[in-house]
Copies of this chain bind each other. A is one copy, B any other.
């Protein structure tokens, strides 16, 4: 049980730090859920349905999230090049900037661990975690 508690504590702390780091870089009104969405949209965009599958929510919920991100200027809905029903959700320039900020914040949040455990141990840690749950849920919900 101690292991579970420690893991959840670290995950919660990490999420909080990344979020704080993103806010500190000037992106307000953004939630962790947006970050999980960015991860799917980043390479080439995605449809609402794909995003919903990625996040593990209904497509209505994903659509509302997109509404919000559009309103805040992070993404835009473009016509899909191959399917007139669908729309391709793509990051705007501001969206890319926010994604880069999240990346920086993540690196910054992990840095103290390297100072504490050493670089080799951190790599070991990462390897162990990847072996334990290579395909865990993207949006852990509880």
Contact = CB atoms under 8 A, between A and B. Distances in A.
Interface of A: 1-16, 18-19, 31-33, 39, 103, 106-107, 109-110, 112-113, 116-117, 121-122, 125-126, 128-142
Contact of A132 (B31, B117, B135): B117
A112 B134 CA distance: 13
Please classify the interface of chain A as helix (H, G, I), strand (E, B), loop, or mixed, using the class held by over half of its residues.
helix
A32, A121, A122, A128 — most chain B CB neighbours (10 Å): A128
Q: How many copies does the complex hold?
A: 2
Contact of A13 (B12, B19, B107, B136): B136
A1, A31, A136, A137 — most chain B CB neighbours (10 Å): A136
Contacts of A110: 3-4
B9 A138 contact: yes
Contacts of A126: 2-3, 6
A32 B142 contact: yes
Given A13-B136, A117-B132, 4 more contacts: A4-B14, A6-B126, A8-B140, A140-B142
A14, A131, A134, A140 — most chain B CB neighbours (10 Å): A140
Contacts of A19: 142
A8, A33, A109 — most chain B CB neighbours (10 Å): A8
